[in-house]
Structure 1
Amino acid sequence: MKKINYIKCVLLGFTAIAFSSCLKDKTYVDFSQGGQSAELTLSGLNSFPQDAITSDTALIQFGVNIASSSTPTTDHKITVDVVPDKLTSYLASNNTIAYELMPTNAYSFRTTVVDIPSGQRLKILTFTVLKNLLDPSKSYMLPIGITSAPGLTISANNSTHYYHVIGNDFAGAYFAQFIRTPAGGDYPHKPVTLTPVSPTLFQAVSGYAALNVHYDVSFTKTGNGATATYSKFAVTLNADDVKNIFGTANGISVTTPASFVHPPDPSKQYTYAEALTLFDFQYDVVNSAGAGRHVEDIFTKQ
């Protein structure tokens, strides 16, 4: 399913897991340079999708770990900090989204020296990101990494978390109205969140059968700020959702693909306020019993 709706950052259960088993997993351990390695658990570019921040107030936890073939026998001090150079190097090879460094007023993390005593491997750090203080139209990154680990090798691949927020002008809090014909499960005013996938693609959840099938809504943006305009709107049902949730799991077939109830003018450049009136979507299905259903979802900005 193509969604970036949450951040897998709370390491629930890590303290209950024997790290001897984790040491065998190459996802977490870097022995490429031998000896003992300092790392951040579940970090690096392979974990980039899980480091997306979507909630307005995100409480984030991550582990600082010593990876080695045997239990450490000396005390270690590992310094963890915000590393702006990691953003620079990321953008040099990944320039699809123009991330900016997250401003300091939007997060609580500060330089931290982690003391890991002899016989132990792991410490958990916690900080908060206040996404609601950020410009929703911009994308931000907060790269947090190990900057010093005397006596240890800093992992080449697992020493940085690339926490990030994807900006999208239309993401955020909305009220949803769901209408099924014939009626069933309808609701008039449900708080929902439209989630960003990229700066010009967001997702909105359909109310049909409470199955959480998503619309993918794309558009083109011209200009920036208050004078920006929007065009070339398109809506589809998420293909993975249709296959896995509708088809495989519930025997539902889409008979008429998603469309706008009031189709946008393909030649028009819409203002932001005008664009918000377009988010009224519909489609048709046949359920597992062979009954036809018409679905309409209307999203109104809170």
Structure 2
Amino acid sequence: MKWINLCIIGLLYFCSACSNDVDFGEQYKKQVYIVNANLNAGIIDASLMMEEEAQGSISIYCASSEFPEEDVIVHYKIDTAALNAYNVREYENATELYMTAIPENLVTFGSETVTIKQGEAYAVLPFTINTAALDPSANNTLPITLTDASGYEINPELQTCFYRLELDNPYSGEYNATVNILGAFNDYYYPQFQNFVTKTLGAGGMTSLKVPQSTQVVIQETNPNYFIINWNQEDNSLTLTSPVEGFQMIESLNLAADFDQTPESVKVNYYNPDTQEFIVCYKFPNTAMIYEILKKK
């Protein structure tokens, strides 16, 4: 009886061992996907200078338990339809938040396919964008979808990315901002509140800057209240515009140090080359007037 029990135990152990055998060659699916396509619903944020040949790229990865034994040829396409569907699904009627597809004639790819070399895990898809021709006020985006890969499946959840651009120029970046929120007294103004913040200014054009409103430090996607500094570099004069209806550029300012001090006329809306500062004065609807000095860090 004891011998029979030992046989049964041995048989059960043998069966258990067989059931736990793993074919490690099939443990992971052989898939190709775009790196970081799973972040922020497929949106890859990038900053490029406004120039005729700005360089960008995405990385394409092949997943498997082993490196590929031969070259993997990956096909791709610009997928405007996927971008349009995403806009409608995510933003519905808030069209001001829609991403705008970069025109195909402004994009140049190095080749029609991407090759992941034998024994390597990934490859880079480089491209050139004529960012100088883009509208800086738009959410310029390059939608790319992988369509086919030799010997590998395409991961359907990671096959599309939206390469969204933040445009830069030589003057964009971080600025120290002195924001004076003005109070009115008689026929002049005085700094009722003064705030010191660091603002991130984006490109509004080759010589223009997008500036967050008042004490905001960045332009908010869901509440894009900003104005644009248009810089005439011949005489250093500035004009201010904004997509916000009712925005005003204040062209003259009588300013006093305090409400009971003697006011004086202050020059506004110009670039001071000696101090390298932008001096602006503006007003958004239903807010106080702002006198602001911006100096790049």
TM-score by length of 1: 0.48
Query: Given the two structures, how large is their TM-score scaled by the length of structure 2?
Result: 0.49
Larger Rg: 1 or 2? Answer: 2
Whose strand fraction is larger, Structure 1's or Structure 2's? 2
